Amino acid sequence: MARKKSPVAAAVVLREAKPLAANGGVLAPNERRLNFGERWAYAPAPEQSDYIEIKPRYQLFIDGKFRAPHSGRHFDSINPATEGKLAEIAEADAHDVDLAVQAARRAHRNVWSKMAGRERGKFLYRIARLVQEKARELAVLESMDGGKTIKESRDIDLPLVAAHFFYYAGWADKLAYAFPGRTPHSLGVAAQIIPWNFPLLMAAWKLAPALAAGNTCVLKPAETTSITALHLAEIFQQAELPDGVVNIITGAGPTGKALVEHDDVNKIAFTGSTSVGKMLTRAVAGTKKSLTLELGGKAANIIFEDAALDQAVEGIVSGIYFNQGHVCCAGSRLLVQEGVFSAVIRKLRDRISSLRVGNPLDKNTDIGAINSRVQLDKICELVESGLQQGAELVQPRLRLPEKGYWYPPSFFTGVTASHRIAQEEIFGPVLSVMTFRTPEEAIERANNTPYGLSAGVWTDKGSKIFKIVSRLRAGVVWANTYNKFDPTSPFGGYRESGFGREGGLHGLRPYLALD
Ligand code: NAI
Ligand code: MG
């Protein structure tokens, strides 16, 4: 590994920051933008990808078989780090959706709901083990199709995917114990719509509890990240999961809409934007379909003066720059107690200037590619609004790759509660920093958002943690850590962040009727 620390060598590797405008962004070099940063050069350490078999075309997975879409239409899935086309993906229309729902209904009626829980559990264990066997390949595919770093897809996403199947496999034959005194029944056909930020992990969050509870599924991945779900379909075939138990249909919004509007769907589970979530709420009103929504967030991380600052800054950094900030529970607001403000800002600035942005398949990369041009434009537009509204942007000088969608790790100071960057989900590597004086003020500021998904508290005092977390209106609160996930732990939000819980025992409940 070549580490060049002398100022001369640093100058060689540093290079001028490329204006973000050249990258499709709207950010022009601005007086209020501070540039800094000295970087070490690391030798390239790319994960091998030449053995990965990407099909030129992926079809729909219906009733245990891959089949061409009714319309004959396909769309491209690209690699956001290169803008190169990876594969063509079938576009499902209402006809295909109907075939998938019918297959799921037959499988529910004839096979899956009749099967003993311990038998269903065996299939889930088998799937979990196959995911583990193919974890490396799936991680590379996930990084290629979605832009996330291999470090994350390999060390976080894939182990959690397997863990979710293992965990819910264990519940399949114990449902009666999960809800003592009640008799649980499956609901029927579950329509599941997932986003592009954790493609396989969201598929696992949705499928594993639904299947353990005896439901059959029609899953729709996001249009920019469909490939790994279709490789998961191959795993289902290998596991000899009965035909129709899981069906995977690909396409964009209209495909999702046709799925949720299908008459024969019993349950809808959605993760994505608040705007689509609201549309779904209207679509199911007056029907018997049950609904769970996991929507956006604007989480606050609160640093008190007595916190271990280095540890806190490390947690803040992973909380917002992790997965390019494409995380609904990202700690996108930072509330710092006034006495430690300058120390925190200094540490944050130093830390982000050492983050490496670039090839997602390189094992040293900290920040990969933004998932799509649309998302990059959205980030740039919100950053521009922050500058317009008078906040100060701190952004290291970075050389971004020529092709692909990139955004450097950034943070804003001088943010007020009314700024759009303090209110709206940015879904990118951009943090809004604000200050507070008293714990009361911290709580009030943290809760001052339409969302309520997650929050973080950093302090040395256990009693303070308990006092603060009980008053934060967020579904998940981490203390002295951030973004930690486990299949046994429930996850979900309040208000505009949605309703219903995924994970743990709580995650089974939305897939069961209790007599
Ligand atoms: P989106 O909500 O449009 O997409 C999520 C899923 O819903 C995708 O599979 C999409 O095809 C599907 N979908 C879109 N329109 C639909 C409709 N009318 N009926 C049924 N399904 C539909 O999110 P998008 O446009 O990709 O991202 C926009 C913003 O949403 C992001 O910038 C971010 O702020 C937020 N978001 C939040 C996520 C979360 O984890 N809570 C995940 C993805 C995005
Ligand atoms: Mg893609």
Q: Where are the domains of the chain?
A: 3-43+297-479, 57-294+492-514
pLDDT, residue 11, reads 26
DSSP letters spanning 21-64:
GGGT------TT-B-----------BPP-TT----SEE-EEETT
Ligand nearest to the CA of 248: 1
Q: What is the pLDDT of residues 411-466, one digit of tens each?
A: 999 999 999 999 999 999 999 999 999 999 999 999 999 999 999 999 999 999 99
Higher pLDDT, 390 or 40: 390
Q: Best of 273, 291, 377, 499 to mutate for ligand 1, by most ligand atoms within 8 A of CB?
A: 273
Least confident of 49-53, 186-190, 263-267: 49-53
Measured between alpha carbons, how far is 209 from 292 in angstroms, rounded to an integer? 13
- Point out the ligand nearest to the CA of residue 427: 1
- Distance (angstroms) between ligand 2 centre and the Cα of 176 equals 41
Query: What is the pTM for the complete model shown?
Result: 0.92
CA distance 53 to 144: 12
The residues lining ligand 1, judged by C-beta closer than 6 Å to any ligand atom, are 193-197, 220, 222-223, 252-253, 256-257, 260, 271-273, 276, 279, 294-296, 328, 375, 378, 425, 427
| Per-residue pLDDT reduced to its tens digit, 209-261 | 999 999 999 999 999 999 999 999 999 999 999 999 999 999 999 999 999 99
- Ligand 1 atom closest to the Cα of residue 198 is 40
pLDDT band at 14 (very low <50, low <70, confident <90, very high): very low
Query: In the predicted model, is pLDDT for residue 266 greater than 50?
Result: yes
Respond yes or no: is residue 380 known to be catalytic: no
- Answer yes or no: is pLDDT of 309 > 60: yes
Superfamily per CATH, domain 57-294+492-514: Aldehyde Dehydrogenase; Chain A, domain 1 (3.40.605.10)
pLDDT of residue 40: 58
| Long-range pairs of 408-411 with CB within 8 A, sequence gap ≥ 24 | 408/20, 408/357, 408/367, 409/317, 409/321, 409/352, 409/355, 409/357, 409/366, 409/367, 410/352, 410/383, 411/320, 411/334, 411/348, 411/352
- In this structure, whether the domain defined by 3-43+297-479 belongs to CATH 3.40.309.10 is answered with yes
Assess whether pLDDT exceeds 70 at residue 25.
Answer: no
| Closest approach atom of ligand 1 to CA 257 | 19
* Residue 190 banded pLDDT, cuts 50, 70, 90: very high
Marked catalytic residue, from 223, 294, 384, 425: 294
pLDDT at residue number 43: 87
Q: Is 217 one of the catalytic residues?
A: no
Among all bound ligands, the one having the nearest atom to the CA of 223 is 1
Phi then psi dihedrals of residue 283, to 5 deg: -65, -30
pLDDT score recorded for residue 31: 29
Residue 3 pLDDT exceeds 80: no
Domains 3-43+297-479 and 57-294+492-514 share a fold: no
CA gap 167, 403 in Å, rounded: 40
Residue closest to 474 by CA, chosen among 272, 273, 296, 325: 296
- Cβ within 8 Å of residue 133, ≥6 positions away: none
Choosing from 328, 425, 496, 502, which is the catalytic residue? 328
Distance 378 CA to ligand 1 centre (A): 13
- Ligand 1 atom 35: residue of nearest CA: 273
**For residue 374, how far is its CA from the centre of ligand 1 (angstroms)?**
12
Which pLDDT value is given to residue 397?
A: 80
Atom of ligand 1 nearest to the CA of 222: 9
Over residues 483-504, the mean pLDDT reads 94
> In ligand 1, which atom is closest to the CA atom of 220?
9
More confident residue, 282 or 36: 282
